[in-house]
Structure 1
Amino acid sequence: MTFEEWIACAEALAADHRSLSQADTATCRRALLGVHRLFKIAPTPLLDAYARVPERLLGEAARARADDVTGGNFAWHLPGTPDLSAWALAAGAQARALDEVLFTTAPSHFGPVDPEEWRCATSQAYAIPRARTREPADKRDNQRFTRRGVLHHRVVPEVLDAGYRVRLVRLDTTAAPAGEQVTMGAALFPGLDLQIRREGEDGFVVTGAACAGMDVTVLRQLQAAFADGCFAAMWPELTVAPTLLALIQRTLEDRALSVDPRNSLQLVVAGSWHVQEEHGLANVAPVLDGYGGVKLLYRKVLPYQDRKIGTEAIAPVLEVPVLVTDDHLVGFGICKDFCDQGVPLAFADLDVDLVLVPSMGNPVTMDGHRSTAKRMRTLFGTRAFVVQQAEAERPADEQPGWVLPFPNDPTGLATPDLRQAGDWQSYKGTVPRGRD
């Protein structure tokens, strides 16, 4: 889109806003999502100009606009100049003002809220309120719109640019508030062996996964997760068969009877497994709460392809779930969903705090994960936690795998430095944007 075409869109949106007079929740939400979309379609020079608008000027203009909007005046000033910075400031102040008014006037933000309450059918997007602002004031200068444009809400489209529909799932947790240090655990399997069945002419299905003392290993990993005070724990792709999943769930359920304050585990990604469902085979990652209950099932979107064994025989998936807690928005992927750099990924416009990715592969696979994580970190401030089992056919001294431990800079360490030699390790860091 050219700058001239974008101005025409901005003028049309401003005309729509002039017709508004009631600062109710639905009106403010629709108006906010309209400005958010205006920035989403903006040409790169305009976005660059926004990043150079001083936070002091943006904040002052936004506060003045918020007072007007509260009084029912949604009209915003259109610059009479082609100056990019002037347009960026005008539209940016309107976005901030609507964000502020919506946050302070909405009847309910947190607790047992139906995610549909955050949806605007006209805009086909959700404006999800957040307890903390995304970037602290002293870090907002020189930040792009995706990092400081909307402070009190996270905007998530109903349908991502890659074509996947988003489904929001609520989860109440007792974890540390957003921005405080969290611990996450990575579980791997030394000596893993996979049983594979050919499916059709060139497809494959994993029918078994085993290693010496697998059940004992998993129980020890869970105890380590409790002892380490983990917020989340994750096993890798295609390693958790139904019997092993049941063991994990029983162990977590038994934890409900414990009063040990160290047991702060809130979220478990129980690897993944090939499961026959109504519409075909799926590579399914069960996402559990700390007591073993299934909160959602993530289904792999992109099938793995191998020259020797063929293509993963999974059915197409058109939905991506996002977990919403009071402190975090959490997205999920399985291996290729997060590492393939050759296709539009679901994560290009998915503004979440954390992405959890069970994976299996080699160093090149992890390179792809690092690239996607770097882009999301730059755009949205997202942290990525990837637990990748080494391919089962690799020599024993190269197992078990690699872990991307939700770092500040996903490319700050080389892939060889991400090796995890043991079957368990916990990692500490901060997750969301507000205090990082």
Structure 2
Amino acid sequence: MCLTATPQHARAEVPISDRLSFEMYGRMGTAYALDGRVIQGTRLNLRGGPIGGRFEEGDYLEPTLKFYILKPGTEESTGVRLVLTPAMFARTSFLGFFTSNTFPNLGIEIFQAYAEATNVLIPGLSFWGGQRFYRGEDVHIADYYYFNQLNGQGGGVRYKELDFALLLQTGPRNSPPFYGYDETGDETPDAQRQRLVFVSQYVHRFPVEEKRAHRLHLLAEAHVLPSAKTRDGAEVLPADLGWVLGVKGTLELGKGTFNTLAVRYGWGIANGTIGGSSTWATFGLPDEDGRFRGAYALEVVDHFVYNVSPLLSINGYGILQLAHGASDAATDKGFDYAVGARTFLYLLDQFHLINEVTYQTRRDGDGPTGSVVKLSIVPTLVPSGERSVWTRPHFRLFYTLGIYNRAARDALMSPYLQAFGPDRIAHYVGARVEWWF
């Protein structure tokens, strides 16, 4: 759920006082299945995540408070702020049905809690520490933060367009890169270790005109895992390494039209990518020595918005993800590919007809390739009257039709198929309000 925040350029702070501001992303709605069973939040997408279309997503609230301990008077004066972002979401059905007493149906998490100081020592030099959304743009209609989605706990320093960070990551007890087993035979993992992720980024801008510039974004990561040892000092997992290189280019074509192409390659333990996972979520199995030498992953994303006229906008994307573990097993690889486009027909200032079509594939190992085609029609009320892809709030009615191929149906490759049984056709009817400010 960390990927559900809106694009940064679409958010605006609401000042509560001279030192405190508030911003928020949220969505709430209802859904109905034709046979009356509970369908709210049951996605049609093949890996269960939002890639492939997001209209079936469940309820979610993400408020952010920003407190300015020292508010900068000018662009070059020193400022200090604290940022806190809790999040609330329903693990099943509707958010309003649950309280903290109904665990595990209600999820409450702290997504951000960090301090940042800007213009320290010299103008343009900033420092931060804590837990934060450490990432860039997303493909909003696929709810996918790509390229540098490195949310985590740690700290960093930034000088103008040059950025460095050190993050620490660990994982659940069923995650081999992070946990090992002792020799007691009780199958209880007890040798936890944490990964160090060193990140370096640089953005170069090519000015076209005032307030508009093409951008080139470079990314490098180094991942280090120490050996995992029990309390007695016995090594149960060897040390391991990984690295990532990426490049992203954006063409700003005027009047809100842009195209972004990003390519990222990860090696070793930094091969997380399948299903939209972060690079530190290692994919696959280790080699016979317990290391991920030779494992790799590739991510390619193209994302664009084309404002055709005052009557029509198109927002589209293509996402390719492939990964391979370090073992020789035929099952130790994965492949995803998705393309989608959402059209915005501005019939009236306050009434937009949104339509979306997506095609998504999934292949696990040498198995058959599953696929789904999704078609959505979404009449939408837009109180602001702004003719824009990014304006909110949206009051939506929507219907989504999903058409699975035989491989996806037989393998139950989506939460919808797992809940409603094998079928080639899926229907989803819902209503939702989505907002951000």
TM-score, length of structure 2 as denominator length = 0.26
TM-score for both structures, normalised by structure 1: 0.26
Structure with larger RCO (C-alpha < 8 A, sep 6+): 1
Between Structure 1 and Structure 2, which shows a larger proportion of helix residues?
1
